[in-house]
Copies of this chain bind each other. A is one copy, B any other.
Amino acid sequence: MAEISRYPFRVEPQEVDFTLRATLSSLGGAVLNTAGVDAYGKGFGVDVLNADNHSWVLSRMALEIDLRPMQYTDYTIGTWISDYGRVLSTRNFTLTDAAGHEFGRAVTQWAMIDLTTRSAVDLSWVGREHQEAVVPVPPPTDKPRKIRAVTPTQHAEHRVVYSDIDFNRHVNTMRYIEMMLDMLPVEMLTREAPVRLDIHFLKECRFGQTLSIGCELHEHAALFEVSGDGQSVAVRAGIEWQEA
């Protein structure tokens, strides 16, 4: 039976903000990177899927960080798939420091798309073919929450450029998160309190589109929605810092 796979990381100088702690987006980036590397190593990465004109697409993510580690801190990301449904597979993560203390965790849900139609395909076959990759350990926290209604109090616009897009030619997940967080007061972002981020992708945004980002700001939380070229909502997200 499969076990949780563990990958070593270190907080690099380019990943910290002026508090010298890792940014949320760099930690989220490390989590998503681990997903790619683990799938690649186990034979169901994007490289293999592309040969069949398929790709993995992130549908939802929940990321919890209790304490942002300082520059040069060594840490480990553990990852495992806990289940394959017909439409979504669930991949989990824990972030632990050198002493084995868990300081963060994530739950992600992935769909498989057909690269021609860009729509989701039934992934039961992956569950059958890669049953041995499933680890019977439940997700380390609540699955990603759906954010249903956002009443923006602030707006920003962003034209999608080359450095925003990923191998799939759509906007990189961490860039969405950066765009959203960049609308918040810096004091909120650098406050040292446990934080949870939920993000939910409804459709893709692509190179050349102009994105509208709406933000509903609260004292220790914010909700966001992003749409491309005036179309319906493409991404919704929520972030919440624990009150002192």
| A interface residues (Cβ-Cβ under 8 A, vs B) | 12-14, 16-18, 20, 23, 25, 29, 32-33, 36-37, 40, 46-47, 71-72, 161-163, 165-169, 172, 174, 178, 181-182, 184, 186, 189, 207
Given contacts A172-B14, A186-B207, contact A167 B37 (CB under 8 A): no
What residues of B have a CB within 8 angstroms of the CB of A189 in the complex?
162
In angstroms, Cα B21 to Cα A166, docked, is: 11
Closest to A36 in B: B13
In angstroms, Cα B47 to Cα A12, docked, is: 13
What residues of B have a CB within 8 angstroms of the CB of A165 in the complex?
17-18
Are the CB atoms of A72 and B40 closer together than 8 Å? yes
Are the CB atoms of B33 and A12 closer together than 8 Å? yes
Given contacts A161-B182, A182-B161, A189-B162, contact A167 B17 (CB under 8 A): yes
Are the CB atoms of A167 and B71 closer together than 8 Å? yes
In angstroms, Cα B181 to Cα A152, docked, is: 32
Q: A162 touches which one: B32, B47, B186 (CB < 8 A)? A: B186
A14 CB, nearest partner CB in chain B, Å: 5
Are the CB atoms of A181 and B162 closer together than 8 Å? yes
Given contacts A163-B182, A182-B161, contact A169 B18 (CB under 8 A): yes
A-B contact pairs, 21 of them (CB 8 A): A12-B36, A13-B33, A13-B40, A13-B46, A14-B29, A14-B32, A14-B33, A16-B166, A17-B162, A17-B165, A18-B165, A18-B166, A18-B168, A18-B169, A20-B167, A23-B163, A47-B71, A71-B167, A162-B181, A162-B184, A163-B178
Closest to A207 in B: B186
What residues of B have a CB within 8 angstroms of the CB of A17 in the complex?
162, 165-167
What residues of B have a CB within 8 angstroms of the CB of A174 in the complex?
14
The 4 closest A-B pairs by CB, nearest first: A13-B36, A161-B182, A163-B178, A18-B169
Are the CB atoms of B186 and A163 closer together than 8 Å? no
